[in-house]
Amino acid sequence: MSATIPESIRELAAGYALGALTPEEARAFETALAQSPELQREVAEYREVNALLAAGRGGQAPSPEVKERLLARVAASKAAALPPPARRTFPWMATALAATTVLAIGLGGRARQLERDLTEKNAALASTAAKLAKREETLNTLLTAEADLSVVQLTTSGAQAPGMQFFWNRRQNRGVLHAFRLPPAGPGKTYQLWLIPKDGKPVPSVVFNSAADGHALVEAFQLQVEGGFQTAAVTIEPEGGSSTPTMPIVLIGQVSGL
């Protein structure tokens, strides 16, 4: 079998398993894949490697609410799929019922699948709606400030150094953060924002982390500092945040125009 697989196709197996091929390459590879048990085995092995790379990472579990939501979602889909209560039937209907039973079983399975899909989609829609509402809140935080909006640029040094913009609605004392080129804080770690008033004592604020692409967005959040602040800084802290900052400071910026 191996003699029938062009080397140029075989060389794509690893990239295919990683999802690193162009659409054209993927199509060409899948054509060969469908006809080659050897290629199928090779791709399966690369997928096992992917799984091992996943299993080798940190083992912190998601919060218990995730499992609760999963099981609630599943229970809802099962409840939706339950057949209606049995009704009284008449003898002459028995033959007709028997004749349609096989069809009904098949249709019932399909109906349960559709209802399950519908429940899932409703849940996804609710999740999207919640995200949209949060996004609107963020937008309002920026737009309703009018003249009372300060933008703090938090920086460090370096040509490709990370940075962060901190939008502060002084009227509502609410903020929005947007970081860029900021590497993820690492396992068990998080970034934390500190607000430093005139007296110089840092007040802990939100904790956040960045995505693999270096971006982080913290949508509208309330600032827990009265009387404003002059400096904003970011440090790396243990997950959950700290009450006092851990040196060194990663990013820092001054509020201008106050």
Partner 1 sequence: MLVTSIAIEMPLSVTALRPNAAPTAGAADDDRALISRITAGDERALGVLYDRYAATMYAVAFRISGERADAEEIVLETFSQAWRNAGRFHGEKGSAVAWLTMMCRSRALDLIRSRGRRAKLVETAQQAEPTGAPAMGTGPENPTDRVAGSERAAKVAAALESLSPPQRQAIELAYYEGLSHSEIAERLDEPLGTVKTRVRLAMQKLREALTPYYFEAAT
- Considering only residues 41 through 100, tell me which ones interact with partner 1, judged by CB under 8 A: 41, 44-63, 65-67, 69-71, 73-75, 77-78
**Token reading at 174:** 């609410």
Question: Helix, strand, or coil here: 149?
Answer: strand
The least CB distance from residue 147 to partner 1, in Å, is 19
The least CB distance from residue 243 to partner 1, in Å, is 16
160 is a site residue for partner 1 (CB under 8 A): yes
Tell me, rounded to whole angstroms, the distance of Cα 200 from its chain centroid. 36
**Token reading at 36:** 């080659």
Determine the Cα–Cα distance for residues 106 and 103; give it in Å rounded to an integer. 5
19 is a site residue for partner 1 (CB under 8 A): yes
The footprint of partner 1 on this chain (CB under 8 A) covers a number of residues equal to 88
Q: Are 166 and 193 in contact (CB under 8 A)?
A: yes
Our CB check for partner 1 shows the closer of 27 and 67 to be: 67
Our CB check for partner 1 shows the closer of 8 and 144 to be: 8
The least CB distance from residue 174 to partner 1, in Å, is 19
Please identify, among the stretches 28-36, 94-102, 120-128, 168-176, the one whose residues bind partner 1 according to the rule CB under 8 A.
Answer: 120-128
* Element at 75 (helix H, strand E): helix 64-81
Closest CA relative to residue 9, chosen from 47, 36, 45, 46: 36
- Report strand pairing: 149-155 vs 163-169: antiparallel
Q: Are 202 and 196 in contact (CB under 8 A)?
A: yes
DSSP state, residue 6: -
Closest CA relative to residue 235, chosen from 188, 166, 180, 189: 189
The least CB distance from residue 96 to partner 1, in Å, is 28
* Element at 126 (helix H, strand E): helix 93-143
Residues 173-232 that bind partner 1 (CB under 8 A): 178, 180-181, 183-187, 189, 196, 200, 202, 208-213, 215-216, 231
121 is a site residue for partner 1 (CB under 8 A): no
Please identify, among the stretches 14-22, 27-35, 91-99, 141-149, the one whose residues bind partner 1 according to the rule CB under 8 A.
Answer: 14-22
Question: Looking at 129, 161, 171, 224, which residue binds partner 1 (CB under 8 A)?
Answer: 161
Our CB check for partner 1 shows the closer of 60 and 95 to be: 60
* Element at 208 (helix H, strand E): strand 203-208
The least CB distance from residue 162 to partner 1, in Å, is 7
Our CB check for partner 1 shows the closer of 97 and 187 to be: 187
